[in-house]
Amino acid sequence: MTLDDEPVVIDSGLSQEMEVDGYLFEVCIYRLEEETAWTLEVIDEEGTSHIWNATFASDFAAMVEAQKVIRTAGAERFMYEDSGPTLH
């Protein structure tokens, strides 16, 4: 396999760090170049990756979802309870 065969990943300009309840989260929004749907991944400050099963029609919709879920649940509940919309 050559480097030309590797999929091209497009990172959203909306990807960012956000702080909730004193905890830092890295919100990563990306898609494959040939796809239109965006993937949402949130990495908590312990390095745990939370990836949504569902994809989003826009990077903005993905960002809104991340902010809504983390702020509604609270940082600790999001990080430690398996009640969110994510799988690892």
Length of the chain: 88
CA distances from 66 to 12, 22, 80 (A): 14, 16, 16
Domain map of the chain by residue range?
Answer: 3-87
pLDDT in tens, 38-81: 999 999 999 999 999 999 999 999 999 999 999 999 999 999 87
- Are 20 and 42 in contact, with CB atoms under 8 Å apart? no
Long-range contacts, stretch 55-61, CB < 8 angstroms, 24+ apart: 55/31, 56/29, 59/12, 59/13, 59/14, 59/29, 59/31, 60/14
pTM reported for the whole predicted model:
0.84
